Structure 1
Amino acid sequence: MDLRIFTEPQQGATYDTLLTVAKATEDLGFDAFFRSDHYLSMGSVDGLPGPTDAWITLAGLARETRRIRLGTLMTAGTFRLPGVLAIQVAQVDQMSGGRIELGLGAGWFEEEHKAYGIPFPKEKFARLEEQLEIVTGLWATEPGKTFDHHGTYYDLTRSPALPKPAQAKVPVLIGGHGAIRTPRLAARYADEFNMPFASVEDTARQFGRVRDAAQEAGRDPDDLVYSNALVVCVGKDDQEVARRAAAIGREADELRANGLAGSPAEVVDKIGRYASTGSRRIYLQLLDLSDLDHLELISSEVQSQLP
Structure 2
Amino acid sequence: MDLRIFTEPQQGADYDTLLTVAKATEDLGFDAFFRSDHYLHMGSVSGLPGPTDAWITLAGLARETRRIRLGTLMTAATFRLPGVLAIQVAQVDQMSGGRVELGLGAAWFEAEHTAYGIPFPKEKFGRLEEQLDIVTGLWATEPGKTFSYDGRYYQLADSPALPKPAQRKVPVLIGGLGAKRTPRLAARHADEFNIPFASLADTEAQFGRVREAAREAGRDPGDLVYSNALVACVGKDDAEVARRAAAIGREVDELKENGLAGSPAEVVDKIGRYAELGSSRIYLQILDLHDLDHPELISSQVQSQLT
Q: Is the TM value for this pair above 0.5?
A: yes
Partner residue, 1:169: 169
CA distance in 2, matches of 1:36, 1:21: 14
Partner residue, 2:247: 247
Partner residue, 2:128: 128
Alignment of 1:1-307 (within 5 A): 1-307=1-307
1:151 alignment partner AA: G
1:122 alignment partner AA: K
CA distance in 1, matches of 2:8, 2:229: 12
SS at match of 1:50: coil
- Normalising by structure 2, we get a TM-score of 1.00
Note the residue ranges of structure 1 that are not aligned, 5 or more in a row: none
2:95 alignment partner AA: M
| Stretches of 4+ aligned residues off by more than 2 angstroms | none
Superposition RMSD on alpha carbons, in Å? Answer: 0.3
CA distance in 1, matches of 2:201, 2:27: 34
SS at match of 2:34: strand
Question: Could you list the per-position Cα deviations for residues 53-82 of structure 1 after superposition, in whole angstroms to 9, with x for gaps in the alignment?
Answer: 000000000000000000000000000000
CA distance in 1, matches of 2:49, 2:224: 38
CA distance in 2, matches of 1:179, 1:108: 17
CA distance in 1, matches of 2:225, 2:60: 27
2:60 alignment partner AA: G
Question: Could you list the per-position Cα deviations for residues 226-263 of structure 1 after superposition, in whole angstroms to 9, with x for gaps in the alignment?
Answer: 00000000000000000000000001111000000000
Note the residue ranges of structure 2 that are not aligned, 5 or more in a row: none
- Normalising by structure 1, we get a TM-score of 1.00
SS at match of 1:41: coil
